[in-house]
């Protein structure tokens, strides 16, 4: 575990198929294919055990990285909303202007 504090467990865990896992799994697979290429082996047909292992390691690391990322983002959002709540005078919603007020007066030149 990436030493996440206990409160991180209150967040919904990322699904097993998540962005980080898919991307790092793909990166691991590509690394295995590159290894095949550099050692003059047939690129996709050789070393299937290696391809599966590298993909799995990427998937595994991706899951924990995604979890860590989500925690960091959630923490930042919580702090942001807390600040907004505590300083309402700085975040007043502006009155919506009507289009007629925004445009300049029209003086036709004919």
Partner 1 sequence: MAAPLRLVKGLRLAAGTPGLVLTRSAFVARKPNYDHPNWFGVGLAFGTTAALWVLLFKHHNEDVMEYERRQKERQHKCTGCS
Angle at 43 between CA 39 and CA 47, to 5 degrees: 75
Residue 25 · residue 58 · CB < 8 Å: yes
- Distance from C-alpha of 53 to C-alpha of 25, rounded to nearest angstrom: 10
Applying CB under 8 A, among 11, 27, 31, 74 the residue interacting with partner 1 is: 11
Are 64 and 41 in contact, with CB atoms under 8 Å apart? no
One character per residue 30-69, x = contact with partner 1 (rule: CB under 8 A) = ---------x-x-------xx-xx--xx-xx--x---x--
Q: How far is the CB of 49 from partner 1 (least distance, A)?
A: 4
Q: Is 28 helix (H, G, I), strand (E, B) or coil?
A: helix
Tell the smallest beta-carbon distance from residue 13 to partner 1 (Å): 4
Residue 9, interface with partner 1 (CB under 8 A)? yes
Residues of this chain that bind partner 1 (CB under 8 A): 9-13, 16, 39, 41, 49-50, 52-53, 56-57, 59-60, 63, 67
């Amino acid at each position: 575990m990436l030493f996440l504090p206990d409160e991180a467990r209150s967040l919904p865990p990322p699904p097993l198929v998540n962005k980080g896992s898919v991307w790092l799994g793909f990166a691991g697979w590509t690394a295995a294919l590159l290894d095949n290429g550099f050692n003059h082996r047939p690129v996709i047909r050789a070393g299937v055990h290696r391809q599966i292992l590298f993909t799995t390691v990427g998937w595994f690391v991706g899951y924990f990285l995604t979890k860590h990322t989500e925690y960091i983002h959630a923490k930042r959002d919580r702090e942001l909303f807390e600040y907004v709540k505590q300083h309402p005078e700085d975040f007043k919603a502006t009155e919506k202007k009507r289009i007629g007020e925004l445009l300049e007066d029209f003086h036709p030149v004919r």
